Amino acid sequence: MSAATHLAPASQPVVTRTSWTAKLAWTALALNEAVVLWGAYVRESQSGAGCGSHWPLCQGVVVPHGALWHTIVEFTHRASSGVAVITVAALAIAVFVTTPRRNLARWAAGFAAFFMFNEALLGALLVLLRKVAMDQSVGRAVYLCAHSANTLLLLGAIAATAYWLTWPAEAAWSRYRGSRWLAPVLALLFTLIAAATGAIAALGDTLFPATSLHQAWAQDFAANAHYALRLRILHPLSATVLAVYVLWMLLRHATQNDPSTRRLALITFGLLILQYALGIADIFLLAPLWLQICHLLGADLFWVALVLLIARSQPQFLEARTA
């Protein structure tokens, strides 16, 4: 479609043509999500050492020939990550060239470029420090937690960029001045914590796969249990705290008059429920690879929906208080 309907109350319809920069932003979001999911496959298939300890080269060459499956998986991830880096860099340049000063899309694109740099750096360090494959060190868990949180921040920054480019009337900083930010910031923070603990849980599932639910339970509470197994319980606990808080916040949005905001709040709620269903299935089915990737996809979609909901609703809270 060549036009996008502005998320405004039905009584004040606003239609604006979707710019090429907005299309580039949505494309960058989809591309980075694909890279994230493939990265999860790299970890779960233990292909992180497929290119050896070389970076950015793979097995010491630009393109490996006659490579084994693990090498192909890791090389494909690196190649797609390179395309993602170029796309985000191009997006940041395009936004700064085509938008005015104090436009929120500029800030979001700048943060996207920063988090993209961090993403590449963390990925490189995981390889160079050999925190891949069957490495069981505490350092690997720290890097994975940082990597997981940075990935969400990257996706959120790109999503915010896409939102403010698609609906430029929303991108003025003055519209957000005076809004209450504590509640949304806490929601984002709780989500990041849940994602970090999820990375530790996924590491435990990868390093110590169980053949039965009873064995998985015994692993967690064994006297000599690995730290990744002992800390695995933190993920459902943090996810529960997140769910309670986000549900409270969504109820606030559900009372607004704008149908678009209510619809977005409903989508966010649905993704939250879906995450819980996938998490429960992940436990009872002993975390198969396909389900872990679906769980990660659901988490990323929930995060993006939450970011868009916050970007959409904050000016409305301000306008409702000043009306």
**pLDDT tens, position by position, 238-261:** 999 999 999 998 887 766 667 888
Q: What is the pLDDT of residues 144-162, one digit of tens each?
A: 999 999 999 999 999 999 9
Q: Which of 93, 115, 103 is nearest to 24 (CA)?
A: 93
Contact indicator for 39, 50 with CB cutoff of 8 Å: no
Could you tell me the pTM of the whole model? Answer: 0.88
Place of tokens 């960029």: 161
pLDDT reported for residue 322: 43
Tokens matching residue 210:
């169980």
How far is it, in rounded angstroms, from Cα 158 to Cα 98? Answer: 16
Average pLDDT over every residue of 127-132: 85
pLDDT at 321 over 60: no
User: pLDDT > 90: what percent of the chain?
Assistant: 57
Tokens matching residue 79:
């190649």
**Please, what is the average pLDDT of the chain?**
87
Q: What CA–CA distances, in Å, run from 24 to 15, 86, 99, 162?
A: 19, 12, 14, 8
Amino acid of residue 222: A
Question: φ, ψ for residue 17 (rounded to 5)?
Answer: -70, 135
The set of residues, in sequence order, having a beta carbon less than 8 Å from that of 109 and lying 6+ positions away, is: 25, 91, 92, 95, 96, 157, 161
Contact indicator for 41, 73 with CB cutoff of 8 Å: yes
pLDDT reported for residue 257: 67
* Other residues' Cβ atoms within 10 Å of the Cβ of residue 38: 16
Q: What is the pLDDT of residues 72-117, one digit of tens each?
A: 999 999 999 999 999 999 999 999 999 998 899 999 999 999 999 9
How far is it, in rounded angstroms, from Cα 303 to Cα 10? Answer: 26
- Classify 61 as helix, strand or coil: strand
Q: Which of 1-5, 11-15, 16-20, 23-27 has the highest mean pLDDT?
A: 23-27
Residue with the larger pLDDT of the pair 66 and 186: 186
At 223, the pLDDT band (50, 70, 90 cuts) reads confident
Contact indicator for 45, 70 with CB cutoff of 8 Å: yes
At 16, the pLDDT band (50, 70, 90 cuts) reads very low
* Other residues' Cβ atoms within 10 Å of the Cβ of residue 45: 16
Average pLDDT over every residue of 196-215: 91
